[in-house]
């Protein structure tokens, strides 16, 4: 089985903290390429720039003599509400590209691994007053390999919290990917609360997640892209109250054309 590539950024305080913790707890060694370290079924690369702008990382792999199944970005989480949290999310932009990536372009989500990471966090994290949740698909970089972000938010107190760091380490190295049916999440706020709640109670995986604010200008093309870039997609998990009628109609149209299921919650 191909390894996953972990990507850390020196420009991100939380990423540096997660990186240092992982290097302390795991046994990474230098590969033949000076730019990549190896530990069992994981690769690790460290970049000076922020993750958001590391476009075309899939080419970085063969350029350094390796290949990977997917990419996991180690990152900080920012929140205006200053909420303590650990989140996971897919990448891409439904409209503009204010934070890296390309406008109207999604990357390939990594449903089995991202879902397994969130389940691990929910089942094993013992920290106080942390929100453990999905986030909707947002921001760069732009790439064509399965990927997701795992983030600690929102201040230095959380980025250096050993309990949070251990939870993130476990969510990567000890996760159990499952071959559950996979869905695109639709509707609700940025943290997809009803989608997250349903997910945690049922044996499913989630790929791309389209929040209510993105649905105001969503096109059929973007919905199709979310399906096509969610490997193994069986349909949609829809927060019905969090999805306006025009968007519900578009979702139904795509589901009917592609013989996909809709689970309304």
Q: How confident is the model at residue 80 (pLDDT cuts 50, 70, 90)?
A: low
Beta-strand relationship, 29-30 and 131-134: unpaired
Q: Quote the CA–CA distance of 21 and 14 in Å, as a whole number.
A: 11
| Residue 188 structure tokens | 């609700």
Phi-psi label, residue 74: left if phi above 0, alpha if psi -120 to 50, beta otherwise = beta
Given a cut of 80, whether residue 191 has pLDDT beyond it is yes
pLDDT in tens, 127-141: 888 999 999 999 999
For residue 151, give the DSSP letter. Answer: E
Does the N-terminal peptide bond of residue 154 adopt cis geometry, omega within 30 degrees of 0? yes
Residues in the chain: 265
pLDDT in tens, 194-216: 999 999 999 999 999 999 999 99
- How many Cα atoms are found within 13 Å in the side-chain-facing hemisphere of 20? 10
Q: Quote the CA–CA distance of 128 and 61 in Å, as a whole number.
A: 38
Given a cut of 90, whether residue 250 has pLDDT beyond it is yes
At residue 240, the pLDDT reads 97
The helix (run of H) or strand (run of E) holding residue 207 is strand 204-210
Beta-strand relationship, 37-39 and 42-47: antiparallel
- β-bridge mates for residue 158, sequence order: none
Given a cut of 80, whether residue 157 has pLDDT beyond it is yes
Q: What is the mean pLDDT of residues 26-39?
A: 94
Phi-psi label, residue 128: left if phi above 0, alpha if psi -120 to 50, beta otherwise = beta
| Residue 103 structure tokens | 């406008």
At residue 59, the pLDDT reads 94
Calculate the CA dihedral of residues 261, 209, 100, 56 and round it to 10 degrees. Answer: -50
Question: What are the distances in angstroms from CA 229 to CA 44, 156, 167, 253, 257?
Answer: 24, 34, 28, 18, 17
pTM of this structure: 0.96
Q: How confident is the model at residue 99 (pLDDT cuts 50, 70, 90)?
A: confident
Helix (H/G/I), strand (E/B), else coil: 57 = helix
Which positions ≥6 away from 21 have C-beta within 8 Å?
Answer: 162, 165, 166, 168, 169
Could you count the other beta carbons within 10 Å of the beta carbon of residue 208?
29
Rg, the chain, Cα only: 18
Q: What is the mean pLDDT of residues 64-71?
A: 96
Domains defined along the chain, listed by start? 1-178 (3.40.630.50), 183-265 (3.40.50.10700)
Best CA proximity match to 167, nearest among 84, 110, 49? 84
Could you count the other beta carbons within 10 Å of the beta carbon of residue 254?
21
pLDDT in tens, 163-181: 999 999 999 999 999 999 9
User: Where do the H-state alpha helices sit in the chain?
Assistant: 13-25, 57-63, 111-124, 156-159, 162-173, 193-201, 212-215, 220-228, 245-258
């Amino acid at each position: 089985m191909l390894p996953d590539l972990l990507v850390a950024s020196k420009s991100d305080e939380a990423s540096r903290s997660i990186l240092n913790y992982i290097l302390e707890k795991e046994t990474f060694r230098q590969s033949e390429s000076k730019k990549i370290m190896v530990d069992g079924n994981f690769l690790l690369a460290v970049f000076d720039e922020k993750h958001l702008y590391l476009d075309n990382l899939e080419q970085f792999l063969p350029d350094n003599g390796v290949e990977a199944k997917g990419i996991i970005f180690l990152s900080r989480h920012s929140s205006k509400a200053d909420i303590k949290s650990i989140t996971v999310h897919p990448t891409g932009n439904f409209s503009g590209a204010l934070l890296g990536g390309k406008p109207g372009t999604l990357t390939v989500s990594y449903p089995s691994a991202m879902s397994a990471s969130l389940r691990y966090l929910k089942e094993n994290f013992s920290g106080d007053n942390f929100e453990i949740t999905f986030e909707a698909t947002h921001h760069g970089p732009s790439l064509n390999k399965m990927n997701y972000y795992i983030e600690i938010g929102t201040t230095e107190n959380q980025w250096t919290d050993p309990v949070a760091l251990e939870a993130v380490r476990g969510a990567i190295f000890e996760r159990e990917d499952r071959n559950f049916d996979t869905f695109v999440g639709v509707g609700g706020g940025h943290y997809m609360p009803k989608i997250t709640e349903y997910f945690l109670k049922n044996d499913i995986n989630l790929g791309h997640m389209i929040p209510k604010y993105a649905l105001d200008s969503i096109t059929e093309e973007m919905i199709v892209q979310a399906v096509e870039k969610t490997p193994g997609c069986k349909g949609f998990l829809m927060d019905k109250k969090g999805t306006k009628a025009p968007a519900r109609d578009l979702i139904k149209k795509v589901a009917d054309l592609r013989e996909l299921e809709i689970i309304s919650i």
